[in-house]
Amino acid sequence: MTIDPGALRALHWHPNADEWQYYIAGRARMTVFCAKGRSETVALGPGDVGYVPQGYGHCIENAGGDPCEILIGFNSGEYMDSGLARWMAGNPPQLVATNVGLPEDVIMRFRRHAVLVKG
């Protein structure tokens, strides 16, 4: 995966696999969201290895001025991911709007596939 400067791999999780990352080039910040409201953000660069347990939400932000190149592997032969926007889009818009404080029309525009968010 290549993440351009100013871009973010949006919040997502893998319901069927752990994720390992090997950072080839560039600088990144990865945030992993854990159980009971805990989270951890780590800085990663060339030669570093990141790990995300199955089902844990995470996002990766390019933290430098050069593209960030990452080799990503999973312990399942079938790739699956679920992103926050897709999850929110899969629930009734009124339910999501009420709980996150956004208008229903905004919720209805959420993408249903993985995206890199450009800065």
The series of mean pLDDT values per 10 residues for the chain, 119 residues long, is: 94 95 98 93 98 96 98 94 78 83 80 54
Nearest one of 59, 63, 20, 58 to 45, comparing CA atoms: 63
CATH number at residue 73: 2.60.120.10
- Cβ neighbours around 64 below 10 Å, total: 16
At residue 109, the pLDDT reads 75
At residue 103, the pLDDT reads 86
At residue 70, the pLDDT reads 98
Domain extent at residue 40: 2-117
